[in-house]
Amino acid sequence: MRRIKSKNMKPEMTVRRLVHGMGYRHRLHRKDLPGKPDLVFGPRQKVLFVHGCFWHQHDDPACKISHAPKSRLEYWGPKLERNQERDRANREALEALGWSVLEVWECQTRDREALAVRLREFLSDTPET
């Protein structure tokens, strides 16, 4: 477990490169915000979390990465449930502070064109119609 990193993982780096290439500038892992969001767009009041599908238990049936552990359920069950509860609490706290939150899942980083559209819609100052 010690070797599991929480920053600069491949999915997060993919999103960071894509957002930067689109011309959006951001801060990383602001400690003064609930949950230390992966990317923070301060003037826009928007944050991004890049979640690993296994660690945060992505519930999309189309996701091939997320799966329930088959062994040591007494350990993994509560641990993964705590991760989900913490994600929910962080999202609610950020929204209560006036921040818009977008969660990007690891499996969604594979289709970069679709991800770019989703990020552009989220980060644009005017809503797409």
For the purposes of burial, counting CB atoms within 10 Å of the CB of 76, is it exposed (0-12), middle (13-18) or buried (19 or more)? Answer: middle
Instruction: Give the three-state DSSP class for 30.
Output: coil
| Tens place of pLDDT per residue across the chain (129 aa) | 555 556 668 899 999 999 999 999 999 999 999 999 999 999 999 999 999 998 899 988 888 888 888 898 899 999 999 999 999 999 999 999 999 999 999 999 999 999 999 999 999 875 554
Q: What is the pTM of this model?
A: 0.86
> Please, which residues bridge with residue 22 across strands?
none
